[in-house]
Each structure stands twice: as structure tokens, then as C-alpha cells.
Structure 1
Amino acid sequence: MKMKKYFVPDGKKKFLTTVLNRDEIDYDFMEIDGRLYIWTPLSCRQYRVMLEDAECEYERSLHRSNTPIYSFRTLMNPEKFQRLKLLNAAYHGFGILSKDVERFEKAVC
């Protein structure tokens, strides 16, 4: 499969790695001129979703409980939500990505 190059925002490598490993997606990091890039077979849209999932993992790391955090996009995708709920079965609840809270509340009310 053809690998594409994408920029990795500062501080996101650890969380992006967690998400890519979780979803069993091939990747390779490389630093070029002081900037970090990733080579992966993902489309641009798929990569943006992975970055959003990485942001969820970042917010999750900020809480002592380590409760899973899900994006609006994940919560509105029944297949993905169920898959992640099974992976996080030890937790009885979840949080919503901070940037998506208002959007989620509007969608369910």
C-alpha cells in the first residue's frame, strides 16, 4: 500500500502512536529539518480522524481515572463506538472530547 507523509503536531507522537497501534495501522516517523512527519497508508481524512483520536488519548492522560474520552465523530459512529467500548470494558463510563461537548449536547437534546 502506498505510504503518504503527514506532519505530526508537537506533543502528539506518543498519543498518535497509541491510536495507530490500537487500530493496527502501519506507520513510520521521521524528523526532517526539525519537524516530525509520519508515513502511513491513511488518506488525509483518515489521518485527521487519527489525530482527533490522539487528542482523545491526550485528554484521557490528564485524568487520574484514565476514563476513555471519545470524540463526537466516534460517538456518532456505532461500529467504532462499540469497538472502543469493548477495548475499554474495564471502565463503566466515558468522557467527551472537550471541543465536542457542546456539539454532542446539541445532537442528543
Structure 2
Amino acid sequence: MDDQTRIELEAAAFRRLREHLARRTDVQNIDLMNMAGFCRNCLSRWYQEAANERGIPMTKEEGREAYYGMPYAEWVAQHQTEASDAKKAEFEAAFRENVGKE
């Protein structure tokens, strides 16, 4: 497989993952992070970092808006629910292990 085809397939897989997670708003970011070590915000950050690495200026919020298709605050208001204290504690450990300090 040539590099261009590989890149196109990887991009298609990313878009499919993003679309899948967009439909599954019942799955909270905290649940994804606690179980898988990444969430929608990680995907938006990776997108932003890839842009920055290529010399394309993009802020954290711009990356989130590009990923979510709307301002992040709007997505949170529409889809995010309050997490239990146990989930929040689990998240702190998962964040440290998978992301580190931000």
C-alpha cells in the first residue's frame, strides 16, 4: 500500500470514529477516559497538535470546535451530565496515567 492510500484510510477511520462518538452522546467523555484512556477531548487535542506541528495555528478551543462541530461549551450544555465523585476520582487517575499534567 502506498503512503497516500494509507493516509486516506487512516483519515477515513478517524472520521468514522468521530461520527460514531457523535452519535453516542450517551457515552460520556469521563467514561471513555476512565475505560480507554482517551476521550473526545483527547481526539480534539491530537487534531490541534497535528495542525500546530504543521505550522497551522490552532488553539485548544479551535481544535475542540473543529472536532465537535460546534463550540465545546454548546456540546457540554447539550450532552454532558454530572459525574459521580467516584467517576471523578477514577478520571483523575486515568488522566494522570494517560495524559499527564496539562
Structure-1-length-normalised TM-score:
0.28
* Structure with more contact order per residue of length (Cα contacts < 8 Å, sep ≥ 6): 2
Bigger proportion of residues as strand: 1
Structure-2-length-normalised TM-score:
0.29
Bigger proportion of residues as helix: 2
